[in-house]
Amino acid sequence: MGDYHEPAEFIDKKHRDYVRALNSLKEEVEAVDWYNQRVAASDNEELKAIMAHNRDEEIEHAAMTLEWLRRHMDGWDEQLRTYLFTNGPITEIEEGEEEEDGSGDGATIGDMK
C-alpha cells in the first residue's frame, strides 16, 4: 500500500477514504496538466479539440473530488469558502479575514469582490 506514509494498519476507514480522495485529486490535476500541454503543443486542430475536451473532463473530475473533500474532510470547507470565487489579490484574502477578526482595518472578503 504505497499511498500511505504511516503504517496502513493505523489508518482507519474514514482516513483511508481521505487518502483515496486526495490521491484521486492529484491524479486528476496531473491529467489536466498533461492534456493542457498536449493541446498547447499540437498543431492538429481536430486532435487539439479532442484533447481539450479530455482536459475539461479531468477538470470536472477534480472539481467533484474537491467537493467531496469539502463535505467530508475537516478544513476544506472553511478554506474553500475563504478563497474560491473571490476577486482581488489572492494573497490578501487572508489578511482581509484577519481584519474582519478585529486585527486590522475592517476590510472584508466581500470588499474584495
4-20 pLDDT, tens per residue?
Answer: 999 999 999 999 999 99
Q: Looking at the predicted structure, is the pLDDT value of residue 101 above 80?
A: no
Task: Name the amino acid, one letter, at 90.
Answer: I
* Cβ neighbours of residue 88 closer than 8 Å, sequence gap 6 or more: 112, 113
Q: How far apart are CA 57 and CA 63, in angstroms?
A: 10
Q: What is the pTM of this model?
A: 0.79
Q: What is the DSSP letter of 100?
A: I
Q: Looking at the predicted structure, is the pLDDT value of residue 40 above 50?
A: yes
54 contacts 35 by C-beta, under 8 angstroms: yes
- Give the pLDDT score at 94: 83
58-93 pLDDT, tens per residue?
Answer: 999 999 999 999 999 999 999 999 999 999 999 999
Q: Is 55 helix (H, G, I), strand (E, B) or coil?
A: helix
